[in-house]
Structure 1
Amino acid sequence: MNNPVLDHERAEFLKARAILGKVPLPAWARQAKELNLIELEVDWVRFSTLNHRTRGEQRAEIARTGHLSLFAEDPLGPAAQNAQYAILREQYGFTDLKADLNDRAQQEPAVITADGVLINGNRRAAALRSLYLDDDRLGAHYVKCLVLPADATPTELVDLETELQIAFDFKQAYGWINEAFLIEELFERENKDFARVATRMHRDVSDIRSLYEKLQQVHQLVGLSSGVRHHIDFNDNESAFDELSKHIKNKQPGEAEAVRSVYFLGTLSEVSYRKLRHLRRPDAASIVRKELESDPSLKQILALADQTSFETSAIDILDDVLGEGAQSGPLTPFLSLLACKNPNEALVLDDGNEVEVRDILDSLQSAITAAADEAGEDERDKTAQTTPLVRAEKAFGELKRALEALPRARAFSGFDENGMADRIARIRKLLDEYPGSTS
């Protein structure tokens, strides 16, 4: 059966290539797992623009160029392919991969569609292409590939990519943002069943759900930024989004908005997530706002944000991003103002002066860090106040259980009465040391 999506001219070219042999591909879901192994010029194969490994970077590139259909309009054309090649070259570990291929050559075959689009091996093919074109390594001129059947469906291709690249040993190269994008796609495809997605990806359901929920928070922050920030910008902030999504999961809307605003502002200003965790509390936004108001420069920005919120309605922005019923809090206008500003631009204040957004973020980082330190001290003070009560309650419970177990213990001839009496005496002596004790 012909696949109308295939480029038939390229498919005919592949059919004419010499077959080096048959190689089994265990991850291929069909029963006929042996595929033709062929050799192709490394600049002839096409990178997959549907590759989930680069989904976040693609979104950023689309926003940067303003070309909404860059990777969809003509995925095998020069614009999409050059952009995808550039993305692959810039990913973490590309230099090491090139060095390894230069030393050991290609060890595992890539996997391509019947018209030469890479389903697995995009990074390796990009590294080989760079070795051949940039470093003049003639040994990198060809890439060995396994060819999938011409009637392979898009669903089968996504499943194969999942099996080959996510389920086993390629997780690190994806980055959590791109992995979460794949989970989100599979979640929608599998009737919103996390268990089915977990089975597909050979992962625990809790891991799958966690990545999905973290991505929803990133969606919200990117949405608030109106295109200024991109998902891939937050690839290094997984811990912050993990703690945020877990904390607000079952909280009331007011507390959820307070903690979310603080975490979003902290992430934008590069506050350590270890500091932010002290602000997982209902009054988080109020604590941070108080700190901002104590800084004259930030107080001006707060006033500007509050004024702007009346004109543009920050709650309308929240409704667009978080859905109807979203609550505004003490930091909502401030977050709405800063999230959509590029760090390199300037903000004009009411008095006509300009201030660099980057300088605002630096001051914000200091203010949130100070608020987090104060909250941490408060937590320690509360812990110090309650520690004697908590430990006394535990001791009471243990003593009560010991006395309840005493009759049964005495039923045995070997019970140590003297030992028990000694322990009770020590307890009474210890109680006498309690200040103000009348016992």
Structure 2
Amino acid sequence: MVKERLEEASKANGEKLTIEWRGEQRHLYVISMPVDLLFYNPDTHRIRAQRSLDPERDRGLDEDPWSPASQDYLDRLLKSQPSDPDKIDPDFEALRDNLETFGQMTPGLITVFGVLVNGNTRCAALRELGEKYIRVAVLPETSTWDDISTVELALQLRKEHKRDYSYINRLIAIDEQLKLGRRPEDIARDFHIKTATLEQDRWVHTIIRDAIARSQTDDGAALRMVDFEDHQEKLRELYRAYTKTAASDRDEAEALKESRLAMIVLGYAKTDVRLAQADFHTKYLDPKLPEAIKPSVTSASAVAVPGLGDLTVPETAPTAKVNKALTDSLLKAKAQSQQGHADQATVAAASDALMQAKDAFDRALTPAGRDVRLQQRRLAAPERLSDACDDIELCAGELAQARATRALDEAAFDDAVLRLREVMRKLAREAARTFIEPGDGVAWLLDTVEDHS
């Protein structure tokens, strides 16, 4: 049917879709195909992470992706929210409603065997609407699965596409492109992001995969990529906090990372996660942890320094090691608590451990938040004055430029200086009340204002 309709489209010189194929522009004829005859692509990047939601059906997809059961599973995933497959994705509903109102604006893309390369979600929406046909272009018959993956990604990343990949599926797609040997700057350009953002997302993807590996239990439970779908901003903030801290102290950065990862697992909001600094565990959390979930960590083993005789250093910083042990236990408990085939006692024990940890973190966050707010108040006045100094320094430069061009409103400047004098007097009065033994800076301020009062 595909070949017959392609021949008809060629004779009529019909509509074409332009794609990038093997490094060149290809103009492919568009045909109309019955939606019920086409196959969803089991390797589409749109639902790559979501496939793991049902391990048994995921195995069925690997064994026979074209069976009715496998295709029904793909249909369900294409319509579901990435982070909550039990709910319909509002973006899917918006796409479906758009198709119902305006019809299909852009053609999809299939192989000669009827596998959807681009337009999987549109096909699902058209089927739900009861439409009989979908307009699709057709890839060359020699296309391989690598061609299909590359073309799908290129089309989905065009700025006009209607439904973005979910965050986790973008991470997976970026990782696949890197494994193909493509340059990071080229991938960043395709995804319309900066190279620095690409590096950030690579780091986050590594952290998620590491967390999944650490969550695996003896009974086969493990977290899934989709379990991190709603934590995009928290993970990106974790990257920024980690890299900033690691620049001066790698062990503190590891401690911070583990505490924040534990809070992400427990479902805390971004504003709460920010409160976890490198000393959060030892200063605030450890006294609140019940003995049942407090990690038991052996002292760090010593590592010999090559070439320096008997000199040794600790293998891992104690604080980071304790934080990691607690996070490992919470990752495993989270995996067991949502394991569908686990016995009730295991699920109940895991859920209880998570509840105890949540209670301990709740109580630890109260003093941590109070100390952060206190620190912010302590720094507020110095930071204000520092900003004012920056403005005055800029003013000096602009005054020099105004003098050179003779473009200065002298009366307005004089009025501004008089206001500065009054503000300085006010600042000096408050400083005199605040500092019993003024330092050099405050002493200068008091002397200057007093001399010119």
The TM-score range, normalised by the shorter chain, is: 0.7 to 0.9
CA offsets 1:302-339 (integer angstroms, 9 cap, x no match): 2xx42xx66xx9xxxxxxxxxxx776433322221221
CA offsets 1:330-349 (integer angstroms, 9 cap, x no match): 33222212212222578989
The percent identity for this pair of structures is: 22
Are 1:174 and 2:136 counterparts? no
Match of 1:267 in 2: 264
Match of 2:209 in 1: 219
Match of 1:365 in 2: 358
CA distance in 1: counterparts of 2:397 and 2:20, whole angstroms: 63
SS in 2 for 1:286: helix
How far the C-alpha of 1:66 sits from its partner, in A, is 8.0
In the TM superposition, 1:104-119 aligns within 5 A as: 104-119=102-117
CA distance in 2: counterparts of 1:188 and 1:395, whole angstroms: 50
Counterparts in 2 of 1:166 and 1:419: CA distance versus 1, 3 Å: closer
Whether the 8 Å contact between 1:271 and 1:365 is mirrored in structure 2 is no
Are 1:25 and 2:12 counterparts? no
CA distance in 1: counterparts of 2:363 and 2:160, whole angstroms: 41
CA distance in 1: counterparts of 2:100 and 2:419, whole angstroms: 73
CA offsets 1:5-35 (integer angstroms, 9 cap, x no match): xxxxxxxx52234634532223334656332
Root mean square deviation, CA, Å: 3.9
Counterparts in 2 of 1:47 and 1:423: CA distance versus 1, 3 Å: closer
CA offsets 1:256-313 (integer angstroms, 9 cap, x no match): 322222222212221101111121x2212224533533xxxx43222xx42xx66xx9
Whether the 8 Å contact between 2:17 and 2:30 is mirrored in structure 1 is no
CA distance in 2: counterparts of 1:242 and 1:36, whole angstroms: 42
Whether the 8 Å contact between 1:53 and 1:174 is mirrored in structure 2 is yes
Whether the 8 Å contact between 1:409 and 1:415 is mirrored in structure 2 is no
Whether the 8 Å contact between 2:284 and 2:368 is mirrored in structure 1 is no
CA distance in 2: counterparts of 1:55 and 1:414, whole angstroms: 64
Match of 2:278 in 1: 282
CA distance in 2: counterparts of 1:77 and 1:347, whole angstroms: 33
Whether the 8 Å contact between 1:175 and 1:235 is mirrored in structure 2 is yes
SS in 2 for 1:27: strand
TM-score by length of 1: 0.74
TM-score by length of 2: 0.72
> How many correspondences in the alignment?
390
Match of 2:186 in 1: 196
How far the C-alpha of 1:228 sits from its partner, in A, is 2.2
CA distance in 1: counterparts of 2:362 and 2:140, whole angstroms: 56
Are 1:42 and 2:35 counterparts? yes
Whether the 8 Å contact between 1:162 and 1:201 is mirrored in structure 2 is no
How far the C-alpha of 1:428 sits from its partner, in A, is 5.7
Match of 1:127 in 2: 125
Point out where structure 1 has 5 or more consecutive residues left out of the alignment: 1-12, 132-136, 314-324
CA distance in 1: counterparts of 2:102 and 2:420, whole angstroms: 73
Counterparts in 2 of 1:431 and 1:195: CA distance versus 1, 3 Å: same
SS in 2 for 1:340: helix
How far the C-alpha of 1:55 sits from its partner, in A, is 0.7
CA distance in 1: counterparts of 2:256 and 2:418, whole angstroms: 52
How far the C-alpha of 1:123 sits from its partner, in A, is 0.8
How far the C-alpha of 1:122 sits from its partner, in A, is 0.4
Whether the 8 Å contact between 2:51 and 2:58 is mirrored in structure 1 is no
Counterparts in 2 of 1:424 and 1:257: CA distance versus 1, 3 Å: closer
CA distance in 2: counterparts of 1:155 and 1:221, whole angstroms: 29
Whether the 8 Å contact between 2:57 and 2:70 is mirrored in structure 1 is no
Whether the 8 Å contact between 1:88 and 1:123 is mirrored in structure 2 is yes
CA distance in 2: counterparts of 1:407 and 1:206, whole angstroms: 38
CA distance in 2: counterparts of 1:98 and 1:406, whole angstroms: 61
CA distance in 1: counterparts of 2:378 and 2:233, whole angstroms: 30
Match of 2:134 in 1: 143
How far the C-alpha of 1:423 sits from its partner, in A, is 6.7
SS in 1 for 2:74: helix
How far the C-alpha of 1:127 sits from its partner, in A, is 2.3
Counterparts in 2 of 1:146 and 1:401: CA distance versus 1, 3 Å: closer
Amino acid in structure 1 at the alignment position of 2:285: R
